[in-house]
Structures are given as structure tokens and as C-alpha cells.
Amino acid sequence: MKNILLIGTGGTIASQPTDSGLAPGLTTEQLLRYTPSITRLCRTDCVQLLALDSTNITPAHWQMIVRCIRERYGNYDGFVITHGTDTLAYTAAALSYMIQDCPKPIVLTGAQKPIGFDSTDSKINLTDAFSCAAGDLPGVSIVFDHKVILGTRAKKTRSKSFSAFSSINYPELGVIRDGSLVRFIRQRCADEPRFYEDLDTRVALLKLVPGMDRETLDFLYQRNDAVIIESFGVGGVPEAGGFYDCIRQWKERGRITVLTTQVENEGSDLGVYHVGHRLKNDLGVLEAYDMTCEAVLAKLMWILAITRDPAEVAERFYTPVAMDMFPQLPQKQA
């Protein structure tokens, strides 16, 4: 029987009613009391690391989770992390870059309804997460509503339904049927994981809206090392409003720019239209392709903590990690 560590961070799964709405209040030990069947799957230990609504999760908390796993890595066969759903995809993406090539399961889960409610998805999600953590599922994943989703490909796409998460531009890793993992894809891993704890949190996200000018973009560049521009369709910025000059001027000061898309599925392709072609070919803007916005943000934080050299940043950004992207890079000439 395998040894699994349950790491609690709060979230709806551990919440209780208060006069001002739901708030995390249950410990990891209390969660396990609601799911006695887990004791038949594995041996469990608990760590109550945080007790937060996931809206309050920050990159500093990602670092705490990584340290918790790193310090206890040799003692357990797998890890389950309970977490609020609202920023769960961000945390899963961040852990995918901060704990790479891990041969052991690191499974994140949560719920749309607290575990103490009569109608709740908490019990099944937690039990499914332990089934996966006790199985052959290397690396970081989210287990939710019987689905197993790669940590770099997950996005919350429903705010209330039990089927809250989708796998974006990549197949699900598997499903849970009758309490057992049916795996479709097995992540590649190494004999030992590579841990990273440093992050550069000076990364901003700008969502373009019609009629916007460069003033907001200038503001973000002043305060950050990199800016992600969430553009329209396959990608581009308006020709009016000074965007091109803004990106060029801040590039000369060492700022990194990444173009992604507001469209969830199928990704960007900056070469299609004039409004995107110049960004990539003349201004050296990086393209997110089919990555999720959550993965782009976390990857930039990880990369910029390692290097600020633009060429090295680009090389690392376009190097897939945990199947986070399929870049449509041009073929090298012979």
C-alpha cells in the first residue's frame, strides 16, 4: 500500500458557511473523515499548509507548496493538494514548471460545493485524486469530475457546474471509472524531479479591448519585466493607438512581450494577418501558440527567475515543458 501526503490549502472543498459567505475552515484531517474509503486505497498523512480562498493565492504560496513537497519528497509515493477552484489552474501550471519530470503523482483537486453539504462533488473528487496519486500517473495533474487533466493544459471553464475544468488544446490524460484510473496518456518523467523555487513575479497580463491605446500598456511595462498581451483571434494589436511603438521602445529597455489570444481553443498564429505579422518579424514578440494563459504566466515567472537574456528567454519559452505547447516553428534551412 502506497504512502500519500495530503496537503491542504483551503478552498471551497474545506469551506463552511459564515455570516459573510463560505470560508475555508476544515483541516485536512477533517476532510479525510468524510471519505473513509480512502483508507482502503493508501496510507495517508496530512499537512495543513494554508487555509485560503484561492482568490488569495499568490506566487509566494506556490513556493510554499513546492518547498513542502521537496522537503517530504523521499517519504511519500504521491501527493494530493486540495485547493480552491478559482486559481487552481494557475497553481497547477506553476507547479508543472517548478517541479519538472517528476516520476511521482502530484494531484490537485477541489470542489464546487463544500464537503459538508448534502449535494457536493467534494467526496468523489477527493477520492478520485487519491486513486490517481496511488497509481501510475507521473507529474502534475488536476483531477476533477472524473477527469484527469495535465497541469499545463487546465482551465476553469464553468463557474458553478461540477464539470468545472477543461483540457485546452490537449487530450485528457485519463478518466476515473468505478474508482479506477483509466489512463490514456502517460507523461514523460525522469528518475528524479527537478525542483525550482525562484520566481520573477513581475509579469503582467493585458486583455485588449476595442479602442484601447498604449497608455495602459506603458503603465504595465513600467512596473514589470514582461507583459502578456491577450489579443483577439489568432493574434495582433491595433495599428492605431501607438501599440507598435510602445512595444518597440520597451523592448529596447529589456522588457519581454508575449502575444496570446482571448480565444480558448486552437491558439494563436501571428503570421496570418498584417496586424500580427509585424509583431513577430520586426519586434521579436514571443507567441504563445496553443498555450493556456495560466501556463504562459507561470512559465514566464519561472524563466525570468533564471535568465533575463532575451535570446535565452525565447529559447526556454519555445521549449515545451510538460507538453505545455506545440509551437509551429519555421523549418530551419539546410
Whether the CB-CB separation of 187 and 322 falls below 8 Å is answered with yes
Q: Which residues contact 169 (CB under 8 A, 6 or more apart)?
A: 153, 265, 266, 267, 290, 292, 326
The label of the residue with cell 469551506 reads 15
C-alpha grid cell, residue 238: 491595433
Residue type, 22: L
C-alpha grid cell, residue 175: 478518466
What distance lies between CA 26 and its chain's CA centroid? 25
Whether the CB-CB separation of 179 and 131 falls below 8 Å is answered with yes
C-alpha distance across the termini of the chain, in Å: 54
Question: How far is 130 from 82, CA to CA, in rounded Å?
Answer: 11
CA of 110: how far to CAs of 139, 169, 217, 298, in Å? Answer: 18, 22, 35, 20
Secondary structure tally for the chain: helices H, strands E:
9, 18
CA of 248: how far to CAs of 43, 69, 237, 257, 271, in Å? Answer: 56, 41, 13, 10, 18
Q: Establish whether 12 is a catalytic residue.
A: yes
Phi, psi of 23 (to 5 degrees): -150, 145
- Set 9, 12, 152, 261: catalytic member: 12
Closest CA to 322 of 235, 193, 155, 234: 193
Q: Which residues contact 20 (CB under 8 A, 6 or more apart)?
A: none
C-alpha grid cell, residue 285: 514578440
Q: List active site positions.
A: 12
